[in-house]
Each structure stands twice: as C-alpha cells, then as structure tokens.
Structure 1
Amino acid sequence: MLVLIAHPGAELYGADRVTLESAAGLAAAGHDVIAALPEDGPLVAALEEHGVRVIVTRMFVLRKQLLRPRHWLTLIASAVGGFVDSWRLLSRHRPDAAYVSTVTLPHWPLLLRLRRVPTVTHVHEAESGSPWALRAFLYLPQLWSHVVVANSRFTADLLRRSLPALRRRIRVVLNPIPGPAQPPPLRERLDDIRIGYVGRLSPRKAPDVVVAAVAALRERGHDARLDIVGDVFRGYEWYSAELTQQIAAESLTEVVTMHGYDADVWPHLAECDVMVVPSRTDESFGNTAVEAVLAGRPVIVSDLAGLREAVDGYPTARAVAPGDIAAVADAVEELVGRWSEVTAEAQVAAAAAATRHSTAEYHRRITATIESVAGMQDSGENSHGRVSS
C-alpha cells in the first residue's frame, strides 16, 4: 500500500530518528512510502537511502512561540497555507494510510480524516508540568486519529489523564534505538574524567548544568573534561552564546569541547567515560540516555518520569534532582569510585538495552499497527484501539 509519513522537521534528533525507523520498517515490508517534510536536511538523504520518496512542502508546524499573541497572525497564515498545500498533496498521491509524527502537526489528523485516510499518530511529547488545558489543547487533534502510538508508558499515562477520550486508541511502542555493533570497553584506569553531553542546546535540555558540574568537579580536585555534541534549534542561538560565556567565565575553555551537531554520536560516546542527561523539565522518553547505555557508558539522568523509565533496570544509571549541580558531581564521583564494578556492569546493561530497543521488533510492531489501521472501515472505535505495551 501507499503510506504517507508527515513529519515536522528534517534533522536527525530523537523523533526524527524514530520517524526514519518507522519509514524503514514500512519500506522493508514492501510498502510504497512517501515522506512529507517542511524543509530540507539530513533526514531527507537518510529516508531516501531506504527507498522513501521525500516531498518538501509548505506545512503548518505548531511551535510554542506561535502561541504568543504577537505571533497569532503568523500562526493563522501558516495554518491556512499549510492546510491548503497538504490537501493538494493528498489529492495528488491518495495514500492508503498515514503516519503523523508528533503533536506539532495538528491539522494532519483532521485533514486525513476528512479525506478518509486511516491514520496513526506517534506522540513523543509529554509535558506533565504544563496546565491541563494546554495539554488537552495539544492532544485534541489526536481524536481524529484511528490509533495513537505513545513512545513510553509515561507518555501514554499523560495522554489518558489529559484527554480520557483517547484512552482506547493508545498503544505503547518503545523507541527503536540502534546501538554500536560492539560497545567499546570503558577505560580501566581514569587519570582524568571524560564527561559527555549529547542533545539539543536549550534551557530545557540544560547542558549548562553539566558545564557547572564539571567546574565543581575540578574544584574538588578532579581533572574533569567535557564534550558537548549538539546544536541549538532555530531561535535559541542566544542560549548557545550564553553557554559559551559560561564556559569562559568558569575558566573551562581548555577542557570543554563544543563539537556541534553530528548525526553519528557513537565515536563521541566512545571517547567519554560518563554521560549526563540533565533535562530540567519532563522528557517523554530518554533516547540519549539509552544511547549511553547501548554504548556501554554509565549515565546520570535527571530524576524525571520519562528519563527514569528509559534507564529503569540498568545498574550503570543514576538519577539526580533536575538542576542539582552538586548531585551531578556527586554521582560522577560515586561511579568513578566503584569503576571496576561499573566496567563489568556496562556490557551487561548494553546487551539488555539492545534487546529492549531492537529496531527489528520496532519495525514489526509499527508496521503491523499501520497495516491494521489501514484495514479499518469505521471510525477506529473497535478492537484496534486497545492499549498494549
């Protein structure tokens, strides 16, 4: 069948990589896959490698800044233009089923329902700290989807609490996270401590906390160093500038390396001893935390529900209070203090994570979900809407 994928970006961060694996699974199963994206970027070439046809088209993407009153005219213009172009795209290609990635494409579920296209939405967003009304508003368009895939139990629970009408449509499918074929061994002796951060540069992701923790470790007498892999989202260039100023103010210029964005994170992880995922606010799931485990690296995460779920059961993971610089430094010291045990546990944890986040299993489950939805003839309120995990 012809499957349309709608995705709000073209980079290769968390949700982008999950969408790539969804497309790869569908293509491997023999389906014809078209991906509609609002811009060009590294995701385009990655999709095309799997035989996916990519269409770059005008598309309405709901960004937080558009919700501010001074941006409402831009929001309306973008919504109208995106709806028109998306309608034309559907008229031209007439897909048999659709996969909509994230809740930031609110017009797609309604548009697809109007065109009688069976639809699966994949939800990656779970901001439990937001007011109920805002969460319900963001999730409301998913009522037009036949099935809603949640990337974690935490996301599924928040969906149910925010909009109980979605309850019977939700399925939990853990993110596919392919790791290195053979995790590189940890160093046996640590003359210095190499700490790593991978992800967006933003206040929410909080790499500034890791920078401050490195400064604290150096004050305690440790030769701590930091590698930062990632870049800002458009509009957050100010945060990158502040991060650079912080590094200089802490006299860390010689020991902190800013690598920028790199789609291949594994060489960077291989050079680190400990990874940190210091998010300040809720994460629906922690892909980067799992990547650290897959790479055979101990990881320190913020004590948030989605991140706790991501590292649950791995002996090399530690959870600390969000934004607690001293706690991050303490956790690094604790891991280094029992380094021989950590090195033994790391390979076991990597093997467990590889099984839990198998791309083959993800391909099977997401493809089966879309194939089952494509067979629906009603509104989706049947046995296909049950919750699974």
Structure 2
Amino acid sequence: MAGSTGKTYIRQRRAVSISFENLSPRPAILQVIPSLNIGGAERTTIDMARAIIAAGGRAVVASSGGRLLNELIAAGGEHVDMDVHSKNPIIMALNVERLTRLAEREKIDLIHARSRAPAWSALAAAHRLGLPFVTTYHSKVHEAPRLKVFYNSVMTRGDAVIANSSYTAERIGRVHAPDPARLFVVPRGVDTDYLDEAAVEPERMAALRLRWNILDDGRAIFLLPARISRWKGQKLAIQAAADLLSSGVTGFRLLLVGDAQGRNAFVKEVQDMIGDPDLARHVALVGHCDDMAAAYALSDVVLSPSIEAEPFGRVAVEAQSMRRPVIVSDAGGQRETVLTPEMTGGIENATGLAVEPNDAKALAAAMKAVLELTPEARRGMGERGRANALAHYSVGAMTGATLDVYARLIARSRDKRSAAKHGGAKRGG
C-alpha cells in the first residue's frame, strides 16, 4: 500500500488471524526493550506478548523491569532482568553475550528489538545465532547529526523493519534507505475493549473527580494526557486556555494528566504558568493516572497539541476509541489517524480537528469551535472516532499484522537451517 505521499516502498500489513500451530516446536519470541514502564513501546510489548501466547508461542522479554512487569507475568509471559537500557559500550558488549546465552538457553526463534541501545546488542546476538531480527521504529527519525543517524540506523537493520505510521516509514526511507522489501507499516494498536466508554463504571469517574477535586459543575473538560514534556504541548495548551479566558470563554476546565518522569524543572515551568488564581480555576496539573479509560470518559474533548511531529500519536487513537472528539497538531502520524473536516469534506464527517503546531491561538480557536458544537454534533464526532479506531487501530489489527511477519520469518529461517543441515549430512555421507 502506498503511503500518504504516494511512495510505493511502504507496505501496510493487514490484520490477519495467525496461529503458530503449523510451526513445530512452538516458536519462542524474544522482545528486547529498555524497561517496562508506561509508554507506547512498552504497552505494545505487553500486547504482543499476549498475542504470541494466544497464537501458541512463548513470549520472552528482556528488560530492566518496571510498572508493567506484573502485567506481563500475569499474561503468561517470561521476563529476564537485564540492563539493556544502558548506552555504556562495555555494558552493551556484555549484553551481546547475555542475549546470546539467553537465546540459546530458551531456544529463541526470533528477536524483536524496540529501542536503539538494546537493538545493537540484540542485532549482534541474532547474527551470531543466525536468528531472524525484527525492529520496530517507535521514535522520531532524526536526520542529523551524522553520528546520531548512524546510531539510529540499527533500527533499520532488521530482516523486517516495522514503522508505526506511514509518516515514520517515509522518514525511515528518506534517511536510512533500507531495502523496501523489509519495510512495513503496522500502526500501533489500542485496547478498544478497555478504551470503551460503555465499559467505564460511573464509580470510576467519580473516584477521579474526587481525587482531582473536579466539581461536576457543567463546565466542559479538555483532557491533555501525556508525559510532562516540553514537546507534548502542555505550556501551549495553558496559553490557549488563557486566550480563551481573555476572550470571555469560561465554560471549560483543562486537565493535564501524566508523569513528570524526572523533568522537575519543566514541571516547575508548567506550575508557574498556572499560578495565576483566575487561570488556576480552569487549569490543573493532576499527575499520573492508573485508570486512563475513566480519565477519557470524564472528559468532553481530548487534546494532543505536540509542538513537534508525533511518530504515531497514540493519544489521538485512544480518545477516538473512547468516543471523544480530538484536537491534534497537524503534523506527523496524527495526520493519518484523525479524520478532519479537510479530509472528510466537512465537520459533520470528522472525528476531530487539526491545528498548526505550536500555535496557541489556533489551538484556542479549535477548542472554542468544539465547545460551540451542539451536544449531538460532538457525540457524532465521537461515534465516528470509535468506528475509525475499531476499523484501523485495534490491538488485534496490530498484533495480527506483526504475528504474520514473525511467522513468515520463522518459517523461512527454519527451512533454511533444515536445508543446511540436510545438505551437510549429504556432504558428510
């Protein structure tokens, strides 16, 4: 399938029903990721572990652990604690040995790396053992400086290179120019069963209101869920909120939800911005949330105003799955996931709005436009978003497409090794 710019090297993997029943013995897949803390790559690792097990395989993960470790174990996955997050050259070299021994001991059939530092070690281990090597490019594709481009190039050295959006794939092709036959687009999937407004009990929403001190006073709630980071646009959203207030629009609240992850200086900047008493009545920094489905359900509109292009933009898809209109930056992977009036021929067919990145006034105008929609129009936008998420961005679609890549590579690898073994036996005879 061609990407959004018409380049033909991008091949979209479709959702398929995959079983490893025809592969005997059952395959063992090793995923390598720095940690299992909250994040898109980490969540995808857990989703893939479940899918591997459901397809009849073994799911092994090497990481330094984290919040999602218990979830992996509960799903039937296996974990090996390893400092694969380290960029220290000595530790990376040692990790080659550790991953090689791990793959030999656990009879691993395929290694899948999801980050650059561990990918270098995983690539060397896979080459030593003659195993298929898969990468997923979750992050930004940098074009400079040269040293960084080389460091990132490990993510394009797999037998299959998975990009999480057509935008990412196009940038990979432009910067790294891998063999087009190895490059696939598999959009990140979200759990559309968990992220379903109908599945959220009122008590969960009430608990969040109490925790965050949010009165049910009729004001619309804008939700910005993202780690507290400069490029995620929290300060931009606060400025947009201030612009709305200065123009006389007061019927809203803005909730900033997410982890600081050690960015204390930036958190202080955000807190200082909302220090004004008038603004503080409308804007709140509420911290980490363990029940994001309830947080989305509590909201009326979801914002993802990243000031730089998102490689994919999971928030926009999660919000649509929860039947919430979205306002996103008009850049990167979010251009692909949100159906805007410009794409659909009018707001009556849209799932959200896209605005110029890093433009507070444009964001404020979009927020005002969604507030001015009738309740029926906002509900319609949300329902179309739900349909969009179910059709294109479910976990099932993502895992099915990735399992298809695994199955093909494993079958080819086993056939090759079998042929080499029999060939050697004939020569010996």
**TM-score normalised over the length of structure 1:** 0.85
Measured in 1, the distance between the counterparts of 2:163 and 2:127 equals 20
Measured in 2, the distance between the counterparts of 1:263 and 1:13 equals 12
Mark the CA change 1:95 to 1:351 in structure 2 (over 3 Å): closer, same or farther.
same
Q: Does 1:169 align with 2:182?
A: yes
Q: Does 1:5 align with 2:31?
A: yes
* Deviation larger for 308-317 or 18-27: 308-317
Report 1:117-128 matches (<5 A).
117-127=131-141
Structure whose CA Rg is larger: 2
Offset of residue 166 of structure 1: 3.5
3-state secondary structure, aligned to 1:232: coil
* Deviation larger for 209-218 or 101-110: 101-110
Measured in 1, the distance between the counterparts of 2:238 and 2:185 equals 35
Measured in 2, the distance between the counterparts of 1:311 and 1:147 equals 27
Q: Specify the alignment match of 1:294 in structure 2.
A: 321
Q: Does 1:342 align with 2:382?
A: no
Q: Specify the alignment match of 1:67 in structure 2.
A: none
Q: Does 1:48 align with 2:73?
A: yes
Q: Specify the alignment match of 2:228 in structure 1.
A: 201
Q: Specify the alignment match of 2:360 in structure 1.
A: 325
Q: Does 1:359 align with 2:375?
A: no
**How many corresponding residue pairs?**
362
Asked if the contact 2:135–2:156 (Cα under 8 Å) also holds between the matched residues in 1, the reply is no
**Match for 1:307 among 334, 338, 348?**
334
Mark the CA change 1:221 to 1:42 in structure 2 (over 3 Å): closer, same or farther.
same
Measured in 1, the distance between the counterparts of 2:153 and 2:167 equals 18
Asked if the contact 2:41–2:138 (Cα under 8 Å) also holds between the matched residues in 1, the reply is yes
Deviations 1:333-386 (A, max 9, x none): 1112223322223212212211211222322221121121112349x9xxxxxx
3-state secondary structure, aligned to 2:248: coil
**Match for 2:255 among 216, 224, 227?**
227
Asked if the contact 2:35–2:85 (Cα under 8 Å) also holds between the matched residues in 1, the reply is no
Report 1:88-99 matches (<5 A).
88-99=101-112
The residue identity in structure 2 corresponding to 1:208 is K
Offset of residue 88 of structure 1: 3.8
Offset of residue 251 of structure 1: 4.5
Q: Specify the alignment match of 2:408 in structure 1.
A: 372
Deviations 1:212-260 (A, max 9, x none): 21122122222231112111234x2221122112211474333333332
* Deviation larger for 241-250 or 23-32: 241-250
The residue identity in structure 1 corresponding to 2:356 is A
Measured in 1, the distance between the counterparts of 2:55 and 2:166 equals 27
Deviations 1:140-159 (A, max 9, x none): 22454211111111111111
Mark the CA change 1:266 to 1:377 in structure 2 (over 3 Å): closer, same or farther.
closer
Asked if the contact 1:212–1:325 (Cα under 8 Å) also holds between the matched residues in 2, the reply is yes
3-state secondary structure, aligned to 1:164: coil
3-state secondary structure, aligned to 1:27: helix
3-state secondary structure, aligned to 2:280: coil
Measured in 2, the distance between the counterparts of 1:93 and 1:116 equals 15
* Deviation larger for 353-362 or 300-309: 353-362
Asked if the contact 2:32–2:61 (Cα under 8 Å) also holds between the matched residues in 1, the reply is yes
The residue identity in structure 2 corresponding to 1:41 is G
C-alpha RMSD over aligned residues: 2.6
The residue identity in structure 1 corresponding to 2:33 is H
Mark the CA change 1:269 to 1:109 in structure 2 (over 3 Å): closer, same or farther.
same
**TM-score normalised over the length of structure 2:** 0.78
Q: Specify the alignment match of 1:58 in structure 2.
A: 83
The residue identity in structure 1 corresponding to 2:378 is V
Offset of residue 84 of structure 1: 4.1
Q: Does 1:22 align with 2:36?
A: no
Offset of residue 207 of structure 1: 1.1
Structure having greater relative contact order (Cα 8 Å, sep ≥ 6): 1
Q: Specify the alignment match of 2:272 in structure 1.
A: 245
Offset of residue 310 of structure 1: 2.0
Measured in 1, the distance between the counterparts of 2:195 and 2:269 equals 37
Deviations 1:283-333 (A, max 9, x none): 110110111111111111111121111214671311111111111110011
3-state secondary structure, aligned to 2:261: coil
Measured in 1, the distance between the counterparts of 2:400 and 2:268 equals 43
Asked if the contact 1:176–1:358 (Cα under 8 Å) also holds between the matched residues in 2, the reply is yes
**Match for 1:271 among 298, 302, 320?**
298
Offset of residue 121 of structure 1: 0.9
3-state secondary structure, aligned to 1:227: strand
Sequence identity (%): 24
Q: Tell me, which stretches of 5 or more residues in structure 2 are unaligned?
A: 1-26, 201-215, 344-348, 417-429
Mark the CA change 1:342 to 1:373 in structure 2 (over 3 Å): closer, same or farther.
same
Measured in 2, the distance between the counterparts of 1:83 and 1:250 equals 55
Measured in 2, the distance between the counterparts of 1:197 and 1:142 equals 30
Measured in 1, the distance between the counterparts of 2:141 and 2:195 equals 34
3-state secondary structure, aligned to 1:106: helix
Q: Specify the alignment match of 1:178 in structure 2.
A: 191
